[in-house]
Amino acid sequence: MNRLRWRKGVDRFWTVVSGVAVLAAVIPLASLLWLVISHGAPGLTAGFFTSLPTPVGEPGGGVGNAIVGTFFMVGIASLFALPVGIGAGIFLAEKGDGKLGSIVRFTAEVLSGVPSIVIGIVAYGLVVSHMKRFSALAGGVALALLMVPSLARSTEEFIRLVPSALREASLALGVPAWKTSLRVILRTAVGGIVTAVLLAVARAAGETAPLLFTALNNQYWNTDPFQPTASLTVQIYNYAISPYDDWHQKAWTAALVLLLLVGLLNLVARFLSRNRLQGAPR
Amino acid sequence: MNAAQEISPVNSSPRRPVDSLDTPVRVSPEGPAPVVAAEPPKLTVKNLDAWYGSNHALHGVNLTVPPRSVMAAIGPSGCGKSTFLRCLNRMHELIPGARAEGTLLIDGQDLLSRDVDPVTLRRRVGMVFQRPNPFPTMSIRDNVAAGLKLNGIPGNHHEIVERTLRQSALWDEVKDRLDASALSLSGGQQQRLCIARALAVQPEVLLMDEPASALDPIATAKIEDLIHELKERYTIVIVTHNMQQAGRVSDQTAFFYMGDLIEVGPTEKIFTNPSEKRTEDYVTGKFG
Amino acid sequence: MPPPSDISAPAAHSTPARAGNPGDRAWGWGITIFGGSLLVVAGLILYELGRVAAPSWGQLGYFKFLFSSAWDPVQEKFGALPFIYGTLVTSGVALLIALPVSVGLALFLSEMGPRALRAPVAYSIEVLAAIPSVIYGLWGLFVMVPWLRSSVEPFLQKTLGFLPIFQGPPIGLGYLAAGVILALMILPTIASVTIEVLKTVPPSLKEGALALGATRWESIRISVLPYARPGIIGASLLGLGRALGETMAVTMVIGNSPEIHASLFAPGYSLPAVIANEFAEATGDVHVGALAALGLVLFGITLILNAIARILVEAVARGPKGSRA
């Protein structure tokens, strides 16, 4: 009887341990979110979204050019990454069971673990070292290289969610295989693919390291792909490591803006993937 | 998974006015070939063999199906009846490592040959699957017209949609909401929609792979009624796990066991006076 | 409707085609080219990395590069050891903290936690994974580092100060700060992969133990954890790979000093951090080359770790070995 009580005690002990683990993860998260919001919110004015950064000590100013720069470079990245990433994902889902498929899949898995700073060096080599200047294009290429592998894998997974019964149904109607893939399978998976794209875009928008020496930074508005360009993340970094209190304040506000942007993209992505394929035959 | 449906109340329910075994059968029980002499067979299968990798799943099947009749394929799980059905419109080719050899004649034309695009065959031989599989992104109307649209067949789709929905006994239930999602229908309605979809491309032969196994008794009864009506126009081959259903809907029955076609003949004869011991054991419930 | 006409049918249907029509072949080739382009991207990454690093090849011996601790770009002295050391130490600390927490989290989410709490906790983990690393760095720099300096490090010194790793002035910025922030960042990776692995454990194993009268924890210890162990190791390696390559948060809290210290309280440096700090203002081709060579080292380590991790995780997903039949 005593033995049983001991064993039950052990059981309870480990349950508590797992609860402590949860607290160890949730408390820092809560602290982080709360501080970004509470420190960031006071600086959140309309001007913060529309103005250029001001020098130290000068009031006002914002990160308008950095927001535009982030969108601009993520746009350039999507231009390269979406066709290749989605195309590779379709390949993996449709023809990925063979030898080439498993090689491509393994490559995608391993590439998605390559540190983003290393990808920055690659983009530097591909673009900056040839053009002899930092540019939005180089930043975009870096982000694209980061997006492709994960986009390929998530596209594959969303396409594979489409029940094979739909493929059978279409083929049994005498529809050729390629039309079946394009107009039945992909048509059904399109919501999932949009989700994958939004998640990839959200991740790219939050990247800093590969932009430090590809896009560099810029104190002014820029929409020339061949010029250095500001981004929200690099701006947060520069503000944060500066010794000035009013720049620290701007770092928090810019972080709040970035968090809202990334959070919004994630929310939309979740919403879309939840509504997809509900009730579809298995 | 099919164990449950075998004992489902459908089997014993007296809901159908005509008992299956009273259904007139066109051939005399003692005739050697189950074909009406006057009409050439719609479907002729000669020496059909099928393999999954090295597993020889179907051994030299020979049979014929007369036009405008229903043939049921029965047998225990893994007996080859579904493989047989899939070979009839080359859907087996979707399974990696599967292959089939033999001759499949429709109106005397071989459609299993390598030179024939399976797409060509599948437009003549439609198929309805075990579980209803409407296209989830399409409306009811677009589902019916899917084969026409995806194949780029021009014409008055609206008229065909109405006609095939009437043929599949679904028109009255959906005519006011043709643009609703196909997923808004019940399971039985979805299955009749899938039948309509298969009919819309005007096949000559309709294959049904346990079309009622995922449905409730009432929906099953509707599908069976529908099969009776459809055979006025189409040649139907149906795989069923359910012997009572085979008895109710079919004119001929083929019994498969371990990849062999054991016996084929008029349904009444198969169920009351089979020539083979194994057939008798199976239909009387001694195994399977 | 008239019955389908047998007369018209052959004319419309009998166009013979070779197996696989042109559309199918074009589609197949098209998507194969896209799939293959991923391999091209991989090749490009390797090639460019080597090309940018090349100017340093002649200047530095491999051995000297990897095992010298002098880093002075002005005098073109490049020794990678402080960075390799800093990377390994911070990642090691991170794994040491994150692994038990992640496994606890995974068990909470899949076995032990009250059901009502599971969804919000799982959602929190997803949020943790989605936060950009520069925001972790910001929080680390202004919230965590001061806390380490004023509370944690003095406490560790008082209680465990006899260990060399907890000696020296508590500065806040340093290996420990980098390790803790990394732990937080790799936690979602390890936890989510561990959950996936736990899901593949056949319920019959657990039920078998429970049916013999085992408590819930005993059934986990006896049947679940042994089964999932290779997968949990794989998950840890994935997390480790993430920690090794993480740049911004580490750069912001590690102190950026190219020295080697035994104490976790001391400032250090890591491979990604030095690349981030020096690349844009590198003083010449050799400096750029040396930084790219550091990148190559990092690339090599993460590549190997990821490959091993994937193989381990998939081995569990594929199911039990013969002995467990």
Residue of C nearest to A237 (CA): C134
Share of residues in chain B with pLDDT > 70 (%): 86
Q: Let me know if residue B3 belongs to a domain.
A: no
Candidates B85, B95, B129, B133: best to mutate against A (most CBs of A within 10 A) is: B133
Distance CA C82, CA C268 (A): 7
The answer to whether C113 and C202 have CB atoms below 8 angstroms apart is: no
For residue A58, what pLDDT band results from cuts at 50, 70 and 90? confident
What confidence category does residue A276 fall into, taking pLDDT thresholds of 50, 70 and 90?
Answer: low
Residue B24 burial (CB count, 10 A): 7
Angle at CA of residue C142, ends C137 and C148, nearest 5°: 95
Q: Which residues pair with B260 in a beta bridge?
A: B59, B257
Return the sign of the alpha-carbon dihedral for residues A66, A72, A76, A82.
positive
* Residues on chain B touching C16 (C-beta within 8 angstroms): 115-117, 120
Strand partners, B207: B127, B237
Chain A residues in contact with B194 by the CB 8 A cut-off are 169
Dihedral angle computed from the Cα positions of residues C266, C272, C278 and C279, in that order, rounded to the nearest 10 degrees: 180
- The 10 Å CB-count burial string (b at 16+, else e) for C158-168 is eeeeeeebbbb
pLDDT in tens, C218-258: 888 888 888 888 889 999 999 999 999 999 999 999 999 99
Mutate to test the interface with A, among C48, C51, C87 (most CBs of A within 10 A): C48
In a domain, B235, yes or no: yes
Average pLDDT over residues A187-191: 92
Residues of A in contact with C130 (CB under 8 A): 202, 206, 262-263, 266
Q: Residue C189's pLDDT is what?
A: 93
In a domain, residue B75? The reply is yes
Chain C residue numbers with beta carbons less than 8 Å from the beta carbon of A87 are 30-31, 33-35, 37
Mean per-residue pLDDT of chain A? 92
Q: Closest-CA residue in chain B for C2?
A: B233
Encoding tokens for residue C56? 């340093």
Rounded to a whole number, what is the distance in Å from the CA of C263 to chain A's nearest CA?
24
Picking from B120, B163, B204, the nearest residue to C1 by CB comes out as B163
The sign of the torsion formed by the CA atoms of C67, C70, C71, C75 equals negative
List C-alpha distances in Å: A128 to C48, C184, C262, C281.
12, 34, 38, 13
- Indicate if the pLDDT at residue B24 is higher than 50: no
User: Across the interface, which of B94, B122, B183 has its CB nearest the CB of A279?
Assistant: B183
Give the pairing type, strands B55-65 and B43-52: antiparallel
The amino acid occupying position C113 is G
Q: What residues form DSSP beta bridges with B238?
A: B72, B208
CA A42 to chain centre: 27
Spatial contact of C5 and A157, defined as CB atoms under 8 Å apart: no
Backbone angles phi, psi at C177, to 5 degrees: -60, -45
Structural domain contains residue B30? no
Cα A265 to Cα A259, A276, B173, distances in angstroms: 10, 17, 41
Domain-embedded: residue B247? yes
Give the model confidence (pLDDT) of B243-271 as tens digits: 899 999 999 999 999 999 999 999 999 99
Selecting from C14, C15, C17 the residue whose C-beta is nearest the C-beta of B109 gives C14
Q: Are strands B70-74 and B252-257 parallel, antiparallel or unpaired?
A: parallel
Say whether pLDDT at B16 is over 70. no
Q: Do B120 and C14 touch (CB under 8 A)?
A: yes
Q: Which residue has the higher pLDDT, B141 or C311?
A: B141
Say yes or no: A118 contacts chain C, CB-CB below 8 A.
Answer: yes
Report the alpha-carbon distance of residue B81 to residue C118 in Å, rounded. 46
- How many other C-beta atoms can be found within 10 angstroms of the C-beta atom of residue A271? 12
Q: Comparing C-alpha atoms, which of A210, A230, A233 is closest to residue A222?
A: A230
- Across C68-84, average pLDDT: 89
**Chain A residues close to C21, C-beta within 8 Å:** 176
Chain A residue nearest residue B197, CA to CA: A173
Q: Do C13 and B120 touch (CB under 8 A)?
A: yes
Our measurement of the distance from residue A182's CA atom to the centroid of its chain's CA atoms, rounded to an integer in Å, reads 26
Query: Residue B273 is part of a domain; what is its CATH number?
Result: 3.40.50.300
**Phi first, then psi: what are they for B51, rounded to 5°?**
-130, 145
Neighbors of chain B with 3 or more C-beta pairs under 8 Å: A, C
Q: What is the CATH number of domain C57-324?
A: 1.10.3720.10
- In this prediction, residue A55 carries a pLDDT of 87
Q: Which domain holds residue B198?
A: 39-283
Q: What are the angstrom distances between the C-alpha of B5 and each of B44, B220, B224, B270?
A: 31, 11, 15, 22
pLDDT band at A275 (very low <50, low <70, confident <90, very high): low
Reading the block at residue C137, the tokens are 């760095």
Q: How many CB atoms lie within 10 A of CB B36?
A: 14
More confident site: B23 or A108: A108
Domain assignment present for B119: yes
For residue C273, the tally of other CB atoms under 10 A from its CB is: 29
Does some domain include residue B88? yes
Q: Is the pLDDT of residue C20 over 70?
A: no
Pairwise CA distance, residues B199 & B164, whole Å: 6
Task: Answer whether C124's CB lies under 8 Å from A29's CB.
Answer: yes
Name the strand (E) or helix (H) holding C218.
helix C216-219
Of C188, C185, C197, whose CA–CA distance to C110 is shortest? C197
pLDDT computed for residue B35 by the predictor: 47
pLDDT at C106 over 50: yes
Helices (H), chain B: 3-6, 81-88, 118-124, 140-150, 157-167, 171-174, 187-200, 217-230, 243-249, 267-272, 277-283
CA distance B253 to B271: 9
Residue C297 has pLDDT above 80, yes or no: yes
Contacts of A171 in chain B (CB under 8 A): 91, 94, 118, 122
**What's the gap in Å between the CA of A42 and the closest CA on chain C?**
17
ipTM above 0.90, yes or no: yes
Could you tell me the residue ranges of all domains in chain C? 57-324
Per DSSP, chain B holds a count of helices (H) and strands (E) of 11, 10
d(CA B166, CA B187): 18
pLDDT band at C319 (very low <50, low <70, confident <90, very high): low
Mean pLDDT of chain B: 85
- In total, how many domains does chain B have? 1
Please state, in angstroms and as integers, the Cα–Cα distance from residue C42 to each residue in B91, C50, C311, following that order: 37, 13, 19
- Please report residues of C whose CB lies closer than 8 A to that of A209: 133, 247-248, 272, 276
